[in-house]
Amino acid sequence: MLERLELLFKDKVELIKQTTVMIIGLGGVGSYALEAIVRSGVNKIIVVDNDFIDITNLNRQLLALKNNINDAKVIVAKKRILDINPNCEVITIKEFITKDNIDQLFALKPDYIIDAIDTIETKKQIIKECLNRHIKFISAMGTANKTDPTKLEIIDIRKTSYDPIAKIIRKTVKDLKTNEKVMVVCSKEQPKIKDALGSNAYVPSVAGLLCASYVINDIVGEIDERH
């Protein structure tokens, strides 16, 4: 399955296989991040989402199909993961994560967390806990109302601009008084509209793939420290 990846990373593929990756949120961003993580050979994946597939997801979410409307996203995700890699250990958490139950995520001891959720308070809590517990992570900022995927970048939150979610997270990180980098996927594009949440297939998907690329490249030691 991983012959082509081994041409790139050689024996470092074994490091990927031995890594546990948690993906929180399986929407437009998280579903594509999951796809890349699975196809990169990660052998233990934790998926977290309390939602069900909805017909409005069809335009941008990889898991959404006409034949699985109303199915739980974590169940659909597990089936897809095992269809790609039957040897993968998959843990599903079908819960809405808050500060009151977030400890259960860290009890599973993930090596990396991809935060692909929309709920701001939970996103802030995930970042705080990852920093406190020294768990590597990357957090996706907003992808709604944007149409140019080339404006997306992997960047420290302190260097972000325009994105309204990033603005909130910047303040959170500033208040934490941490010197650690807080890496995010964020767009330099100004939102097209402000009174609704329009979406497309190509901006969230690219954001998800960038999240996955950060994790895989970090595992094999290919991260550019200049970010």
Closest Cα partner for 30 from 182, 209, 219, 155?
A: 209
Q: How many CB atoms lie within 10 A of CB 200?
A: 16
* Predicted confidence (pLDDT) at residue 16 exceeds the cutoff of 60: yes
Which run of H or E residues covers position 46?
strand 44-48
Top-confidence residue, 96 or 223: 96
Q: Which residue has the higher pLDDT, 120 or 196?
A: 120
The answer to whether 208 and 30 are in contact (CB under 8 A) is yes
Superfamily per CATH, domain 10-219 = NAD(P)-binding Rossmann-like Domain (3.40.50.720)
Domain ranges of the chain: 10-219
Which band of pLDDT confidence, cut at 50, 70 and 90, is reported for residue 199? very high
Q: Please give the residue that has the higher pLDDT: either 82 or 191.
A: 82
Q: Given this model, what pLDDT does residue 162 score?
A: 85
The model's confidence at residue 194, banded by pLDDT at 50, 70 and 90, is confident
Whether residue 226 has pLDDT greater than 50: no
Tell me: pLDDT of 227 over 80: no
Residues in the chain: 227
Q: Reduced to 3 states, what is the DSSP secondary structure of residue 102?
A: coil
Q: How far apart are CA 64 and CA 196, in angstroms?
A: 22
pLDDT value at 224 more than 70: no
How many whole angstroms separate alpha carbon 69 and alpha carbon 72?
A: 9
pLDDT, mean over the chain:
95
pLDDT at 138 over 60: yes
Q: Is the pTM of this model over 0.85?
A: yes
Q: What are the helix (H) ranges across 18-100?
A: 28-39, 73-84
Residue 199 φ/ψ, nearest 5 degrees: -145, 165
Antiparallel, parallel or unpaired: β 136-140 and 112-115? parallel
**For residue 200, pLDDT beyond 90:** yes
How confident is the model at residue 125, as a pLDDT?
A: 97
Mean pLDDT of 20-48: 98
For the cut 60, the answer to whether the pLDDT of residue 225 exceeds it is no
User: Would you say residue 195 has pLDDT above 70?
Assistant: yes
In angstroms, the CA 88 to CA 72 distance is: 20
Residue located via tokens 């008084």 = 177
Distance separating alpha carbons of residues 131 and 136, to the nearest angstrom: 8
Query: Average pLDDT for residues 55-68, to the nearest whole number?
Result: 97
Q: What is the pLDDT of residues 149-188, one digit of tens each?
A: 999 999 999 999 889 999 999 999 999 999 999 999 999 9
